[in-house]
Amino acid sequence: MTPAEQSLKAAEYCRLAPVVPVIVVDDLAHAAPLARALVAGGLPVLEVTLRTPAALEAIRAMADVAGGVVGAGTLLTPADVKAAKAAGAMFGVSPGATDRLLDACAEHDLPLLPGAATASEIMALLERGYTVQKFFPAEQAGGASYLKSIGAPIPQVSFCPTGGISLKNARDYLVLSNILCVGGSWVCPRDKMAAGDWAGITALAREAAALRG
């Protein structure tokens, strides 16, 4: 799968909802009900970060939830890419980009949202064919104003910014022409997950899904 093909698929997923939940799963038992709650609230695209021992099994469990599009976040190495694909991930997300990681995604046919934070990084990825990228860490790297500015000289690239984005500032990004969606963890807080408050998470998801309404 070429970078251009990966970006086409990534764009398709990013356009399904204005917010992609960035999920950290500590307890595997939470995976399926969490996915059902988020999908029910209108957020079908789910990024499960590879930050916990339960992450890969969580991807497997979520992949069986009807209506969900489950991906793996925090991809750092080719081994991460291979494991994520084997677990059923439909896309990947990385905080940055290396040649080895990009090559692995091409080899394993895994659509990638590669991370970039500077004009040079964005240009290097565009040179390889990635027209859809993750902007990370969004707030710390310049926020919505930076992305608005970068859109003038590099209009070919669209972004899914993540990092420091919440319900309070999500619209600042979503109104920009080069933003397809945003990523955020506020729709799946750990306290609600621990309490099994799936109805509460569905309510947060509905609120987030309405941001572009």
Residues belonging to the active site: 47, 134
Rounded-to-integer distance, Cα 28 and Cα 32, Å: 8
Q: What does the alpha-carbon distance between residue 145 and residue 42 come to, in Å, rounded to a whole number? A: 28
Indicate the pairing of strand 19-23 with strand 132-135: unpaired
- C-alpha to C-alpha distances, 71 to 83, 113, 195, 203, nearest whole angstrom: 12, 10, 24, 22
Residue 85 three-state SS: helix
